[in-house]
């Protein structure tokens, strides 16, 4: 049914569009813009339904395999770690192979691995399959961001990237809710099977919707030639700040969603697992925040908007401290809104700033940003588990404060760094 609906949408949006210059890209409201937005939304959904489905299953996996809460997080950290390690070389090389072709292959391979994950006989095998999924997906996030940067008119870039991140958000939410709902009835193995099937359907939908590219093909890059471009991007102080912001924001965000479920299952809350899974509905606020922040950044300037989102996240961390369910949920909502606002602005800013640099490459810049982002998920989330096991939720609040304060310092530093000529 999903494929039939998407095919119908693709057919109704193929009316001739105004002539487009590769330098201009798709204008908001054009058929190409709508099809690209829907395709990128499916990309985010297919990717993040797989990557983060296990987050809602961490308490179940901890009980099933008799491991600690911190160790159970390896089912998620293994995917994000291998993704982070492979993202820079694969993204740079794969772009020259054709963004659409590589994105389709990456989605298909990761979906197949998702169908194999339920067969894992041990926790170690499950972690290994999840690590392979990270490698399969490594080129996808940067290619998707680079594709949007190249295909959309610059003045609409913030909103378009916000839509891509909204798809990421809905994918992350859907994966968690589907997995926890199915696991509550039929166990974690059938839960992961359901997630794999959803990702496979989204892969087909993405390929049907994606419009022909209007941007010229990227030049072929060899791995041995990556050193110079990477160093050029790492020498730019603005990009370094943005990479650091992605690392710190994601480290704090994944810590909250990894371990808040463990807290709510225990005293004094003692909530049932099916009810705890509903905390992931907070992602709906993130979907709105990513799009709204992108448009506000386009209108008022990213420098004026980004730090506000981080301050909102800091406030949310402290609101979660009391053992009262309403304040915990309110704090979670603030953290989610603040994170997605900051991430949406930083990720769109990376591609735009790179395009202004001499010999800049939005693809390489996006992959470096996402390296920091997913490294933050792996390292920050795992360290957060150690903090939770040792010091409880109050320790996590202090840990979040340190990470978010660092992101705020970098965001305020960005206000003083000039835009490249």
Q: 198-226 pLDDT, tens per residue?
A: 999 999 999 999 888 776 666 666 666 77
Whether pLDDT at 70 is above 70: yes
b/e per residue 49-87 (b: at least 16 CB within 10 A): bbbbbbbbbbbbbbebbebebbbbbbbbbbbbbbbbbbb
Which tops the pLDDT comparison, 112 or 22?
A: 112
Q: Taking 50 as the threshold, does the pLDDT of residue 19 lie above it?
A: no
Is there a contact between 21 and 224 (Cβ–Cβ < 8 Å)? no
Task: Name the band, by pLDDT with cuts 50, 70 and 90, for residue 20.
Answer: very low
Q: The domain 2-7+28-209+223-414: what is its CATH number? A: 1.20.1250.20
Q: Cβ(138)–Cβ(378) under 8 Å?
A: no
For residues 303-329, give the mean pLDDT: 94
Distance CA 349, CA 161 (A): 10
Of 35-44, 203-212, 339-348, 373-382, the poorest mean pLDDT is in: 35-44
Q: From CA 162, how far away is CA 353, in angstroms rounded?
A: 17
- pLDDT of 192 higher than 60: yes
pTM of the model: 0.82
Locate the domains of the chain by residue range: 2-7+28-209+223-414
Angle between helices 2-12 and 188-209 (to 10 degrees): 20
Name the pLDDT band for 176 (thresholds 50, 70, 90).
confident
CA distance 30 to 35: 9
Respond yes or no on whether the N-terminal peptide bond of residue 268 is cis (omega within 30° of 0): yes
Question: What's the mean pLDDT in 238-262?
Answer: 96
What is the predicted pLDDT for the residue at 7?
37
Instruction: Specify which residues 26 forms β-bridges with.
Output: 152
Task: Tell whether the model's pLDDT for residue 3 goes beyond 50.
Answer: no
The sign one gets for the Cα dihedral 96, 97, 100, 105 is negative
Q: What is the pLDDT of residue 268?
A: 94
Give Cα 17 distance to the centre of its chain: 31
Q: Check pLDDT > 80 for residue 165.
A: no
Average pLDDT over residues 62-88: 93
| Weakest mean pLDDT among 1-5, 170-174, 272-276 | 1-5
Residue 145 has pLDDT above 80, yes or no: no
Name 81's Cβ contacts closer than 8 Å, sequence gap at least 6. 131, 134, 374, 375, 378
Give pLDDT, residue 221: 64
Measured CA to CA in angstroms, residue 218 lies from 98, 227, 354, 362 at distances of 8, 18, 15, 11
User: Span 391-410, mean pLDDT?
Assistant: 97
pLDDT of residue 419 exceeding 60: yes
Mean pLDDT, to the nearest integer, of 263-290? 87
Among the ranges given (103-112, 140-149, 257-266), the one the predictor scored with the smallest mean pLDDT: 140-149
Can you give the pLDDT at residue 16? 37
Query: Which pLDDT does position 15 carry in this prediction?
Result: 36
Question: What does the pLDDT read at residue 5?
Answer: 33
- Report the mean per-residue pLDDT for the chain: 85
Q: Report d(CA 175, CA 191) in Å as an integer.
A: 9
| Residues pairing with 322 in the sheet | none
Least confident residue range of 17-26, 51-60, 248-257: 17-26
CA atoms within 13 A on the CB side of 261: 30
């Amino acid at each position: 049914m999903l494929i039939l609906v998407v095919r119908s949408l693709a057919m109704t949006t193929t009316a001739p569009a105004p002539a487009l210059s590769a330098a201009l890209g798709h204008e908001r409201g054009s058929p190409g813009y709508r099809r690209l937005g829907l395709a990128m939304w499916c990309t985010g959904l297919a990717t993040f339904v797989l990557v983060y489905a296990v987050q809602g299953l961490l308490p179940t996996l901890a009980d099933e395999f008799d491991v600690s809460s911190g160790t159970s997080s390896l089912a998620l950290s293994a995917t994000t770690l291998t993704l982070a390690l492979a993202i820079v070389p694969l993204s740079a090389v794969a772009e020259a192979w054709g963004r659409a072709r590589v994105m389709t292959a990456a989605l298909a391979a990761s979906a197949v691995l998702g169908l194999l994950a339920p067969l894992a006989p041990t926790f170690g095998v499950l972690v290994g399959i999840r690590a392979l999924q990270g490698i399969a997906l490594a080129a996808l996030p940067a290619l998707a961001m680079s594709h949007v940067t190249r295909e959309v008119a610059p003045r609409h870039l913030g909103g378009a990237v916000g839509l891509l991140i909204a798809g990421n958000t809905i994918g992350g939410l859907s994966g968690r809710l589907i997995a926890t709902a199915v696991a509550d009835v039929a166990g974690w193995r059938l839960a992961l099977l359901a997630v794999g099937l959803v990702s496979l359907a989204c892969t087909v939908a993405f390929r049907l919707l994606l419009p022909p590219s209007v941007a010229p093909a990227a030049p072929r890059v060899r791995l041995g030639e990556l050193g110079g471009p990477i160093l050029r991007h790492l020498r730019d102080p603005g990009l370094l700040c943005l990479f650091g912001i992605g690392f710190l924001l994601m480290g704090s965000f994944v810590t909250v969603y990894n371990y808040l479920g463990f807290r709510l299952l225990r005293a004094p809350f003692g909530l049932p697992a099916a009810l705890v899974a509903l905390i992931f509905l907070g992602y709906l606020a993130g979907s709105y925040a990513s799009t709204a922040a992108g448009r506000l950044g386009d209108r008022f300037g990213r420098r004026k908007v980004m730090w506000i989102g981080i301050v909102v996240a800091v406030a949310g961390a402290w609101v979660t401290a009391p053992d009262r369910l309403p304040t915990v949920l309110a704090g979670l909502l603030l953290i989610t809104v603040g994170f997605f606002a900051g991430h949406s602005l930083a990720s769109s800013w990376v591609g735009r700033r790179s395009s202004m640099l001499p010999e800049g490459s939005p693809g390489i810049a996006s992959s470096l940003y996402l390296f920091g982002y997913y490294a933050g998920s792996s390292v920050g989330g795992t360290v957060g588990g150690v903090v939770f096991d040792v010091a409880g939720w109050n320790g996590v609040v202090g840990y979040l404060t340190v990470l978010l304060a660092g992101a705020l310092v970098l965001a305020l530093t960005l206000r003083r760094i000039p835009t490249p000529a």
